[in-house]
């Protein structure tokens, strides 16, 4: 493998002002009982049935309780009942029937929606039925493909009858529950325009989790306040999410103490480590990967697997990792399963493509793309030219796209770069309105990847189709254990990799900077905000060293009214990573 470092001529070196190091930015006044979280983008769809981005899912997990909460340990999910985790709505579950193809949930009877309405089995069944309704167009509609019927036994007990037993029965059923009484009379095709989804502030979005929306000013801030119907009450009375697209501004907010939590650019970690000792680092290990997707619907060259492979062979991923200073936090990627999946990752079948521009050129020659007078390859009078789009505010992707543009140019490929506002970018990505896109996945923590690589499903961005892959998926979903299913998932992944609908670039960690005034965080592969209801502020409520701990200020709840909302997939569903 040849590795060539590419200079990013147009990317300036960022010099950031550090507290005590000559910075002249005044520190903004911030209430001591508030946690401020910086995100690259705003939330988009704060409702679990329709959420698409990893941020929507994470924020929704704060607002909606799942049937079963979960932990990620030893390379797999572990499901927790209400006796093990207070977030769970189910006190227990059992597989029933002669072939164990039915699953009975027993729900707790003390859970309330934020408007005081009891949470019942009718809510859980309505949520899953609506998820499978084509009119709702849920990104997780495929979770219902092996459910044949629901049976409500009473307000606290219901049964899901599956077509057969398979390893993903819990994953496909244990997610968050939405309030039936708020949405049941609404047309499923109009969920995205429901008033509570579009204007969730002041408590109009009904939720069951520890926090609800107090205020949402699109593009400016999202304020979460405690849900008065959740017990025990969370200790932090106010959580503010600020969407800040500009990396420099995000960094300054963290360094000056105006922000408490944010994902860190890899090349700024050493800067924060030396200049901001009050910031500690927590890591979400290798759940994410960046990729380039090729859309054959909008560019005919991408219909040819040899062209897609040539595009990947022309990219020097190790050089990109070095140029972007990704160091120990990333590694070249070769397929849809990251190394954290102990049963699913196959280092041979999912090996990263080598950097081989000579082979890339040979493949392009063989497919009729011949260098023209200006060096750009041409076939049938048309140049090999397309637009590579990505989202604003992600400096890693912006820098990587510039390097890749240069590398592709060296083998005669002309890529035009386009940067779009984040939510606009993902809307176009999900609606297939792109030629080539650099994006990222926060991958689901289930083996089942069929919603990304089958038919016209929402996450099948490249319209990938392979009957053999579909057959392997079906075989995997028919196995009695995860271990027996794994060989079919791995074989399917190998076929997908061979077709190269994506160029997988690199698996990476997400390093989260946390101001040390925030304690008791649990940030790991599963998520950043999974136990946000247990966080506490030094000197605030919940601090064991505080002499007079108090509950949340009731004045903070008065603006939120009597109700609120939820979205996401606490047990780790797929989501676009901003």
pLDDT tens figures, 44-72? 888 899 887 878 888 999 999 999 999 98
Same-domain status, 143 and 174 = yes
Same-domain status, 514 and 502 = no
Same-domain status, 392 and 483 = yes
Q: Which of 243, 240, 572, 194 is nearest to 423 (CA)?
A: 243
Establish if 14 belongs to a structural domain. no
Question: Residue 14: how many CA atoms within 13 Å on its side-chain side?
Answer: 21
Q: Is the pLDDT of residue 30 over 90?
A: no
**Residue range 433-477, pLDDT digits in tens:** 999 999 998 777 888 888 899 988 878 999 999 999 999 999 998
Q: What is the CATH number of the domain that holds 386?
A: 3.10.105.10
Sign of CA dihedral 463, 467, 468, 470: positive
Banded pLDDT at 201 (limits 50, 70, 90): confident
Q: Domain ends where: 445, 477, 509?
A: 509
Q: Is the pLDDT of residue 565 over 50?
A: no
Same-domain status, 438 and 350 = yes
Conformational region of residue 27, where left means phi above 0, alpha means psi within -120 to 50, and beta covers everything else: beta
Banded pLDDT at 571 (limits 50, 70, 90): very low
Q: Is the pLDDT of residue 378 over 90?
A: yes
- 332-356 in b/e form (b: 16+ CB < 10 A) is bbbbbbbebbebbbbeebbebbebb
Question: 287 φ, ψ to 5°?
Answer: -90, -5
Q: What is the longest distance spanned by two Cα atoms in the chain?
A: 79
The Cα 414–Cα 423 span in angstroms is 26
Q: Is the pLDDT of residue 564 over 70?
A: no
Residue 299 structural domain: 286-509
SS3 at position 104: strand
**Residue range 316-374, pLDDT digits in tens:** 999 999 999 888 899 999 999 988 888 898 999 999 999 999 999 999 999 999 999 99
Establish if 29 belongs to a structural domain. no
Q: What is the DSSP string of 320-336?
A: HHHHTT-GGGEEE--SS
- 49-74 in b/e form (b: 16+ CB < 10 A) is bbbbbbbbbbbbbbbbbbbbbbbbee
Pair type for strands 261-263 and 238-243:
unpaired
Banded pLDDT at 577 (limits 50, 70, 90): low
Q: What is the CATH number of the domain that holds 132?
A: 3.90.76.10
Establish if 565 belongs to a structural domain. no
Q: Is the pLDDT of residue 158 over 60?
A: yes
Same-domain status, 136 and 275 = no
Establish if 467 belongs to a structural domain. yes
Establish if 218 belongs to a structural domain. yes
> Which one is predicted more confidently, 403 or 548?
403
Q: Domain ends where: 481, 509, 537?
A: 509
Q: Which of 79, 98, 106 is nearest to 164 (CA)?
A: 98
DSSP H helical ranges for 367-463? 395-409, 422-430, 450-453
Same-domain status, 124 and 224 = no
Q: How far is CA 52 from the centre of its chain?
A: 8
Q: Is the pLDDT of residue 551 over 80?
A: no
Same-domain status, 293 and 335 = yes
Same-domain status, 451 and 477 = yes
Q: Is the pLDDT of residue 8 over 50?
A: no
Q: How many independent structural domains does the chain possess?
A: 3
Residue with tokens 């609606």: 431
SS3 at position 62: helix
Banded pLDDT at 574 (limits 50, 70, 90): low
Establish if 536 belongs to a structural domain. yes
Establish if 175 belongs to a structural domain. yes
Establish if 455 belongs to a structural domain. yes
With a CB cutoff of 8 Å and minimum separation 6, the contacts of 207 are: 63, 64, 113, 114, 179, 213, 227, 563, 564, 565, 566
Same-domain status, 472 and 552 = no
> To the nearest whole number, what is the mean pLDDT of the chain?
87
DSSP class of residue 528 equals S
Tell me the CA distances in angstroms from 266 to 37, 253, 321, 390, one per residue in order: 18, 17, 10, 19
Same-domain status, 259 and 314 = no
Q: What is the CATH number of the domain that holds 549?
A: 3.40.190.10
Same-domain status, 301 and 414 = yes
> Which one is predicted more confidently, 453 or 555?
453
Q: Domain ends where: 162, 181, 200?
A: 181
- Report the 10 Å Cβ neighbour count for 8: 16
**Residue range 102-119, pLDDT digits in tens:** 999 999 999 999 999 999
Question: Residue 68: how many CA atoms within 13 Å on its side-chain side?
Answer: 21
Same-domain status, 351 and 491 = yes
Q: Which of 239, 158, 125 is nearest to 521 (CA)?
A: 239
Q: Where is average pLDDT lowest: 7-16, 139-148, 221-230, 432-441?
A: 7-16
Q: Where is average pLDDT lowest: 15-24, 74-83, 89-98?
A: 15-24
The pLDDT of 231-249, averaged and rounded, is 94
Q: What's the pTM value of the predicted model, to 2 decimals?
A: 0.80
């Amino acid at each position: 493998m040849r590795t060539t470092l590419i200079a990013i001529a147009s990317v300036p070196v960022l010099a950031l002002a550090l507290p005590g190091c000559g910075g002249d930015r005044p520190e903004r006044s911030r209430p001591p009982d508030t946690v401020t979280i910086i995100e690259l983008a705003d939330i988009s769809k704060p409702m679990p049935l329709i959420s698409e981005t990893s941020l929507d899912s994470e924020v929704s997990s704060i607002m909606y309780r799942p049937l079963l909460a979960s932990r990620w340990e030893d390379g797999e999910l572990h499901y927790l009942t209400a006796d093990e985790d207070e977030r769970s709505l189910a006190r227990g579950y059992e597989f029933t029937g002669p072939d164990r193809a039915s699953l009975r949930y027993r729900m707790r009877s003390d859970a309330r929606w934020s408007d005081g309405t009891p949470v019942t089995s009718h809510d859980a069944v309505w949520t899953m039925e609506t998820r499978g309704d084509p009119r709702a167009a849920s990104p997780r509609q495929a979770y219902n493909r092996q459910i044949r019927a629901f049976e409500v036994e009473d307000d606290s007990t219901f049964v899901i009858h599956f077509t057969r037993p398979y390893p993903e029965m819990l994953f496909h059923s244990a997610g968050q529950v939405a309030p039936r009484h708020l949405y049941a009379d609404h047309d499923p095709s109009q969920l995205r325009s429901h008033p509570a989804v579009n204007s969730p502030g002041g408590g109009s979005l009904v939720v069951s989790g520890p926090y609800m929306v107090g205020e949402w000013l699109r593009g400016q801030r999202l304020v979460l306040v405690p849900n008065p119907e959740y017990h025990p009450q969370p200790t932090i009375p106010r959580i503010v999410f600020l969407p800040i697209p500009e990396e420099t501004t995000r960094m300054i907010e963290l360094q000056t103490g105006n922000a408490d939590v944010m994902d860190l650019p890899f090349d700024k970690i050493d800067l924060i480590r030396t200049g901001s000792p009050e910031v500690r680092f927590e890591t979400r290990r290798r759940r994410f990967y960046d990729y380039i997707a090729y859309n054959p619907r909008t560019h005919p060259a991408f219909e040819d697997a040899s062209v897609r492979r040539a595009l990947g062979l022309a990219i020097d991923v190790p050089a990109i990792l070095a140029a972007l200073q990704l160091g120990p936090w990333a590694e070249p990627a070769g397929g849809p399963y990251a190394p954290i999946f102990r049963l699913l990752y196959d280092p041979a079948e999912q090996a990263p493509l080598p950097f081989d521009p000579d082979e890339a050129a040979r493949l392009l020659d063989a497919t009729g793309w011949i260098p023209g007078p200006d060096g750009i390859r041409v076939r049938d009078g048309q140049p090999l030219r397309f637009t590579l789009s990505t989202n604003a505010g992600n400096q890693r992707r912006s820098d990587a796209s510039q390097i890749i543009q240069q590398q592709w140019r060296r083998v005669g490929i002309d890529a035009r770069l386009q940067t779009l506002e984040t939510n606009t970018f993902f809307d176009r990505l999900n609606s297939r309105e792109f030629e080539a896109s650099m994006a990222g996945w926060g991958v689901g923590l289930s083996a089942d990847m069929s919603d990304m690589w089958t038919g016209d499903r929402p996450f099948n961005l490249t319209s990938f189709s392979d009957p053999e892959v579909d057959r392997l998926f079906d075989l995997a979903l028919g196995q009695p254990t995860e271990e027996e299913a794994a060989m079919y998932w791995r074989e399917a992944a190998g076929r997908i990799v061979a077709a190269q609908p994506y160029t997988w670039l690199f698996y990476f960690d997400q390093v989260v900077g946390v101001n040390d005034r925030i304690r008791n965080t649990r940030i790991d592969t599963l998520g950043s905000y999974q136990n946000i209801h247990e966080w506490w502020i030094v000197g605030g409520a919940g601090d064991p060293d505080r002499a007079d701990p108090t509950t949340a200020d009731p004045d903070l709840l008065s603006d939120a009214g009597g109700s609120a909302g939820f979205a996401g997939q606490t047990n780790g569903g797929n989501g676009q990573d901003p």
